[in-house]
Structure 1
């Protein structure tokens, strides 16, 4: 009886996959020209990329707004918040965002395979895994003050940072809902709701921050209260959208099946977390190494401006990474290897074109762009000197995240994690240290070394992607979704 049931499930999946692939072939044949085909694929990409870019700009902007209002409270408060947000919060954020990318693989491939009800089960399993990971991270935020004092930080700043870290604990848990719901909605191209919610949260954060810190003089407490509200408001909206009928094909309610097969989900999420964290922490290493140079204040100020610009641009790249992961996962789950390969070409071309425009912009206006952030001529001159490195970083960032997205959509997170270790920390960082310290190139030397690491990683990912047997990847994706398939108890009325 069991064998016949499994056989029936496999037969149904095979029929759905063949039908989807056939539909894709028919669609290809009906397209009159390569321009129309390119345009259709681009529309599918931007349905995912545009909301993802806007959401990441919103999240990045929330921290900038909080930092701006805390800066008006006091310089030590600003230093404490900068310390907590750039070190501890980014550390946790990288882990949770990376772990959510494991969900992106599963949801994308299951949706492409027509296993719509499995998305809700995967979402709940990811919630459980992310809650466990967030709870493990709590001691870092509870004991922030003694950790910073042990690292030699000034006592008053360490105490302020410890207080702010406690305020950020609700923010850590907000990332669970935010990232997992985004991946869940992205995989079925329903993330336009995220734009609406983010459009509300940013103005509200601005108003509340002004009201609580400027009007009522609540200081740091007011700014942090507004921050918690700004992070949680979109999450409440996303949850309500999911469970109250916004996703009837993929959400069938809470189920005990969420507690099944947690270990494989945890392993995939851990690989995804390691992959992304190794990339996020790479820039942190650059700041750390630059901070150890003697008499390099102007160069470090210039570096902070360049990294701020790069950070904003990276939000665009991460949007294309999301688009790549969704499109590749959907097509692999659907069984259409040809469409997956074509999607990689279109996404890479589109992202690279945007990166090339920004590359030219920063090369042409490198002498004046710094005055947006500072009036200091020495700092502006240093920014102009670093701008070619910034421009090349932006150009590389237009390709590398797309290839990471391909890896996420294909389920290669563990492979890419090892590629990141080798290219970043065995090649990039040592070369940067040698150029910066031994050859006395300072910040430029460290940055050149790290760019070499990114080049190595990009080349390796290009080779892996080019040499991949995508028909075999379709087979692997089908085995993955079939292994964790649970028969839907609800009739296929959708």
Structure 2
């Protein structure tokens, strides 16, 4: 068999386009602004039906980390810096990989669910569990030897020692992540986002109470904070698992199967491409936090930087919810053979994320003299955070749009090209620019943050260019071919 040429591929796709154009379930011809407004409103309802619970979930889960940081800040600047370094560097490195590995399920499960291949979802989730638990085991030495690792990376001895002690207590959290991430993607692909939100809300309430009780009331300090954080994540993991096996997911869960270990290498290759794409964003922040620790007055610099990152993360919880909604909508519609609906979803999600980013930036600018006091009692840290606020606002706009567009890329299965783009934007332009401005031009933390803005801006612009030039009919055909390949692999495994 001769390989198909690009010209033959394009011709084959064009022959299929009338099939998509005549599909009654796709969007009909749009004549005028009234038709467009009607379709825009319909798609907006579908997106926000998914996005609202996903946003709420993101706020609750991010709130677990934020509450821990708030209580750590009440213990002192060293404790706050310890939590920031441990969370962003030691825990952040393996989490970034696992988050990326699990994002392959958004393509696999989303497109399979759209094509009514329900039984494939449970198998894919179990494959992802196997891969992520193996990753969690591999990461254990990093936590055990966190102190020498941080010292090698140039962190101060006091922060490295305390972060190393804290890291030992945070090992169980990584295994909770390995369970939560695949099960969340599995449920999201079926639009079962409300149950995830309810579980996250209950976990947040327990986390807030027990953080106060153990950290401040009983005086257990950072050890108490770590125990509560571990327990909160494991509560989420167990609750989601019990919901899945309860029968509420219908045909998508039919029990454990040895198929999870079959063709694992093929699944791993796709997962690795997803991991590179998503991990680079987490590692980008991790690297910038690391360089902030090399500045003069390292504790103050890290505290200010971590507070701004925390605020940025809170604002981006909306974008993460939109990221989930866009990946589900795009993957479902491409799997169903509805390219125009997928394209309209992209337009709605892009406009929504831009407006939300601008709204949060306005709030930030108005409250710039007050919000730093929520996180720290140090006047020096508060002053630096206030000076960083304009850059933080710009970052909010770009990050919101970038996260939303990344959801489109995941839903369409573009992980590999986007991974290359992220590498160039973040590590060829972003980090070197930040380091140059921070150290060469003596701009300190502001210089590092300028580097972040440069990387985010480039990544957002390239994603916009990529989406603008996309032929969604071809993407729908590619999804059909991808599902056909998966079905063939599954059939081969069953008959072998």
Q: Tell me, in whole angstroms, the C-alpha distance in 1 between the residues paired with 2:70 and 2:288.
A: 24
Residue in 1 aligned with 2:400? 398
CA contact (8 A) 1:20 1:335 kept: no
Q: 1:149: Cα distance to partner?
A: 4.9
CA contact (8 A) 2:438 2:444 kept: yes
1:286 and 2:307 matched: no
1-structure distance, mates of 2:56, 2:42? 21
Compute the displacement of 1:329 (Å): 0.6
Decide which of 196, 199, 202 is 1:200's aligned counterpart.
202
Write the deviation string for residues 185-230 of structure 1: whole angstroms up to 9, x where unpaired: 1111012101111121111123333444455555544433322221
- 1:4 is matched with none
Residues 198/28 of structure 1: CA separation in 2 closer, same or farther (3 Å cut): farther
SS at match of 2:191: coil
Map 1:181-200 onto structure 2 (within 5 A).
Answer: 181-200=183-202
Aligned match of 1:407: 409
Q: How does 1:225-240 map to 2 (within 5 A)?
A: 225-240=227-242
Tell me the CA shift for residue 337 of structure 1. Answer: 0.8
2:422 corresponding residue in structure 1: 420
Q: Does 1:460 align with 2:462?
A: yes
Across the two proteins, how many residue pairs are aligned to each other? 473
Aligned partner (choices 28, 33, 44) of residue 42 of structure 1: 44
* Structure 1 equivalent of residue 329 of structure 2: 327
**Residues 61-104 of structure 1: per-residue CA shift (max 9 Å, x gap):** 21233344456667765554443222111112111111110111
More moved, 473-482 vs 152-161: 152-161
* CA distance 1:282–1:467, shift in 2 (3 Å): same
CA RMSD of aligned residues (A): 3.0
C-alpha distance in 1 between matches for 2:218 and 2:35:
62
Question: How many Å separate the matches in 2 of 1:187 and 1:48?
Answer: 10
Q: Which runs of 5+ in 1 are unaligned?
A: 1-13, 489-494
Q: TM-score, normalised by structure 2?
A: 0.86
User: Hey, what does 1:451 align to over in structure 2?
Assistant: 453
Q: What is the alpha-carbon distance in structure 2 between the residues aligned to residue 70 and residue 478 of structure 1?
A: 50
Residues 30, 36 of structure 2: 8 Å contact kept:
no
Shifted more, 283-292 versus 352-361: the winner is 283-292
Q: 2:142 aligns with which of 124, 140, 143?
A: 140
> C-alpha displacement at 1:275, in angstroms?
1.0
Offset, 1:320: 1.3
Post-superposition CA distance 1:340-363 (Å, at most 9, x none): 100000011111111111223334
Go from structure 1 to structure 2 and tell me whether the alpha carbon gap of 1:41 and 1:205 turns closer, same or farther (over 3 Å shift).
Answer: same
Structure 1 residues 170, 32: CA separation in 2 closer, same or farther (over 3 Å shift)? same
Matched, 1:433 2:425: no
CA deviations on 1:256-310 (whole Å, 9 max, x unpaired) are 2222221121111111111111111222333333333336876665444322211
Which stretch has the larger CA shift, 35-44 or 293-302? 293-302
- 1:77-476 to 2 correspondences below 5 Å: 79-151=81-153, 158=160, 160-294=162-296, 301-373=303-375, 379-476=381-478
Deviations 1:104-134 (A, max 9, x none): 1100010111111111111111111111222
Segment drifting more, 331-340 vs 286-295? 286-295
Structure 2: gaps (5+ residues): 1-15
* Match in the other structure for 1:491: none
Normalised by the size of structure 1, how large is the TM-score? 0.87
